[in-house]
Structure 1
C-alpha cells in the first residue's frame, strides 16, 4: 500500500501510520509480495481513501458501506481492525469514547433504598428532595427542598439564580439545623448532576447521611418530592407573574410556611405537617 500511495503521501508518514520502518519498507519493496499481502494492501488503501473522502468524519460502519457501494464487500470488523491499526478515528467517535471513558471512571450512583415506599414513622429518618424552577422577568429562580417523609414537613429549602450543588447543600443545612434529622438518615433524590456531584457526596458523608436514588428518567421514584412542587405551582405560582426573583422567593417561602403549618394533608389524615411532626416527636 505504501508503494501505491507514496506518489501522493510522504513515505515517512505512511511508514509511521503503518508502524513500519522505512528500511523495512524498502527491503519489502525489493521482494515480490504474496497474493494475500497484495489483497490486504489494496484493501487498506481503499479504507484510507474512503476515510479521507469523508473528511475524516466516517466511522468503520460508514467506511464499510462506502466500500460496498464500490463493490468491495468486506466484514466491518475487518475494516474496524484496519482503521484501528492506522489510527483512523472520527472526531465524533473520539468524543464518544472520551465521554464513555469519563462515565466509566465516575463513582457509581447510589442504589434505590426506598423502592417507591414513601412511608416512614420516624421524623428525620427518611427525607426526599428535588429542584424546581420559577419563571420571573429577571430570569429563573431555582428552588431546592428537603422534605421529611414521616411528617411531610419541608424541613429545609433554598432558592437561587443558579441550579448548583451549593443550592441543595443550603437546603440540607437548614434541615439539619432544625434538629430533626436523625444520624444515618436516608436522603432520596433523582439523578440530577447536583445530587451526583462529588461535593454533595462528601457533604452527605460528613453529616452521616445515606444517599438514595431511583431509576433514571422515572419521576414516580421521587414522587413524594415532586408532589410538593406540583402543589406549590398549582396552588400558588401558576397564576402569578413575578417581575423579580425576590418577589418569587417571597411567595415560595410564604407557601412553604402555609404548607407546613396550615395546609391539611390527605396523607396525614388531614393534619398539617407540623401537627404530625409534633405528634411523632411526642410519641417517641
Structure 2
C-alpha cells in the first residue's frame, strides 16, 4: 500500500499490484481499508471490528463460565472447606461483603474461617520455613557444601527432612555449592533436535522438497530489526518470511506459518537451518510436526552447512540493508518486502535457473509437458 500510494506519475495501481503478485482488486481493498482506519473515509475501522469480535468472544466465554458454575453448584456444596478458599472470604470482607453472605454463596462454614484468622500460617508452612532456615544457616557457614551435606547439617540441628526435600528447597532459593558446575551460557550452540539431512547438497527435484531458513538482523534508528526468511532450493524463491523487533522463537514460527500458507502442499518437505535457539525451540519443533515436515540442522560454527541461505542474505545486505541508514523499522521493513517481492522474485534473473527469475522458473517447470521433456 505504501508503494501504491507513493507511486510516480504514469504508474497505476494495477502495475504495482502486478509487481507484487497480487490482484489489483485486492490492493484496492487494502487501500480502502487503510483509508477507513486512518479516518479519511467513513466506515467501521479494523480496530472497532476487532474490539467487537473480542467483546462477543468475552460475552460467550462469560456465559459458558456462568453455566459451568450453575451446573457445578451441587458439587461445590459438598466439597470440604480448604485453606486456599479462606483468603477470598477475607478479601471480600475487606471490600464490604459480609462474611455470612460470602460463606453462604461459597457453601463454606464460618467457624473454619475464624479459626484461620486466629492462625493464618499453617503447621506445614511453619515446618517448611524451619527447614529452609536450617539449610540457609548451614549454607552460609559452608558455601561449598552441596544439598546432601546441607541436609545432614540441618538434621543435626533437629530439622528432619529427606535429601529430596533439601534439594527442592535449595533449588527454589538458588543455594548452590560454590564448587558446582557453572550455570549459564557457554557460547556454543545447544544440542541438535534434528539430524543433518542435507549435508551441503542444496539441490531439489521439485518445489516444496527442500527449504532453507535463517535469521538476519540490521540496525535502525528505532533499534534492531530481525528477518527470518525461508527459501525453496528448487527455484531459490523466498516462500515465507517474518519481520519483528525481537528475535524470539515466534519469529521462526511465524515465518514457517507464512510459508505453509503460501505453498500449502508441504508434507514431507525438509526444512534445514543452523543450530540457533529459535529453530531448536519446542514451539518450532511442534510446528514442524503439525505440518508433517522434517527438520534438519547443521553443525555448530559451520556456515557452509547453510551456504545457500547465506547467499540470499548477502544479496539482501548489498542491495537493501547497506545502501543507506534506516531511520525507522517500518521504513526498512517496506524496503525489504519491496526488494524481495518486486526485484528478487520477478526481475533478477539467475544463471542457476537458466537466466530465469524464480517466479518464471516455477511457472515453466510447473508445466507438465516441459517437466516431462
TM-score tier (shorter): 0.5 to 0.7
- Name the structure 1 match of 2:346: 261
* Aligned equivalents of 1:123, 1:259: Cα separation in 2: 18
Report if aligned partners of 1:123, 1:180 keep a CA contact under 8 Å in 2.
Answer: no
Higher relative contact order at CA 8 Å, sep ≥6: structure 1 or structure 2? 1
- Name the structure 2 match of 1:169: 253
Instruction: From 121, 141, 144, give the equivalent of 2:205.
Output: 121
Report if aligned partners of 2:239, 2:263 keep a CA contact under 8 Å in 1.
Answer: no
TM-score normalised by structure 2 residue count: 0.49
- Name the structure 1 match of 2:71: none
Offset, 1:180: 5.3
TM alignment of 1:191-270, pairs within 5 A: 191-257=275-341, 258-270=343-355
- Name the structure 1 match of 2:195: 111
* Aligned equivalents of 1:111, 1:121: Cα separation in 2: 21
Q: Deviations over 1:61-95 (max 9, x none)?
A: xxxxxxxxxxxxxxxxxxxxxxxxxxxx853x424
Report if aligned partners of 1:123, 1:280 keep a CA contact under 8 Å in 2.
Answer: no
- Name the structure 1 match of 2:229: 145
Q: Deviations over 1:120-158 (max 9, x none)?
A: 121011100000012100000100101000000000011
Report if aligned partners of 1:121, 1:280 keep a CA contact under 8 Å in 2.
Answer: no
- Name the structure 1 match of 2:362: 277
* Aligned equivalents of 1:185, 1:256: Cα separation in 2: 23
Offset, 1:179: 2.5
The RMSD of aligned alpha carbons is: 2.7
Unaligned runs of 5+ in 2: 1-140, 157-175
* Aligned equivalents of 1:108, 1:242: Cα separation in 2: 36
Report if aligned partners of 1:175, 1:181 keep a CA contact under 8 Å in 2.
Answer: no
Offset, 1:245: 0.1
TM-score normalised by structure 1 residue count: 0.64
Offset, 1:266: 2.3
Count of aligned pairs between the two proteins: 199
Unaligned runs of 5+ in 1: 1-8, 23-88
Offset, 1:280: 2.3
* Aligned equivalents of 2:191, 2:323: Cα separation in 1: 42
